[in-house]
Amino acid sequence: MDRVTNVDLAASAIRRAYRWLMGAKRALEDKRWDDVVYSAQMAVEQSSKAVLIALGIDFPKEHDVSPAFKLLYMKVSLPNWFKEVLEGLITNISELAELRGLAGYGYEKGLDSDYFMHYAPQTYERAKTHYGYCSRLLKELYEVNVPTS
């Protein structure tokens, strides 16, 4: 039996992130605003976890992995372009993790899908950009074959 490596797991995670991103795109087209936010956050979470897995960094089994992502500042082997966008990626992770809870369970607070109408387009764009940076890093460092839209 072949041994599964961190890079293999990261490749699976980045493919899953892409499917979440495509779900967010479809939800945006369908004007399902809360689903856009939820799916976009999952794309950010999965693409972030893909990077952490590939680099062998442990992370908590929760949605907000921004504390673990901060450890990337200490990785000297990362390309400069990635370090330059790292702060924005960390912000995406934490902010979207918080917003995801509202998107998934906002009905408990009387929120409907329209509440997310203004968040949805920018949230999708943030997730698309985030996915792009994470997939680019995996491709450059490990030659992971990543899906692109």
Confidence at residue 5, expressed as pLDDT on a 0 to 100 scale: 95
Q: Give the total number of structural domains in the chain.
A: 1
CA proximity to 134, closest of 15, 6, 4, 5: 15
Instruction: Please give the residue that has the higher pLDDT: either 60 or 11.
Output: 11
Average pLDDT on 23-52 reads 98
Q: Is residue 1 part of a domain?
A: no
Domain containing 28 — which CATH number?
Answer: 1.20.120.330
Question: Distance between CA 146 and CA 25 in Å, rounded?
Answer: 18
Residue 146 lies in a domain: no
State which amino acid sits at residue 50.
A
Q: Answer whether residue 44 is part of any domain.
A: yes
| Contact criterion met (CB below 8 Å) for 51 and 106 | no
CA dihedral over 75, 80, 84, 86, signed as positive or negative: negative
> What integer is the mean pLDDT of 23-37?
98
Domain boundaries, position 83: 6-141
pTM of the model: 0.96
Give the helix ranges, DSSP H, for 31-108.
33-54, 66-70, 80-105
Q: Which residue has the tokens 């993790």?
A: 97
Mean pLDDT of 118-140: 98
Mean pLDDT of 110-138: 97
Does residue 147 form part of some domain? Answer: no
Q: Indicate whether 126 belongs to any domain.
A: yes
**Is a pLDDT exceeding 90 seen at residue 13?**
yes
Instruction: State residue 1's pLDDT score.
Output: 62
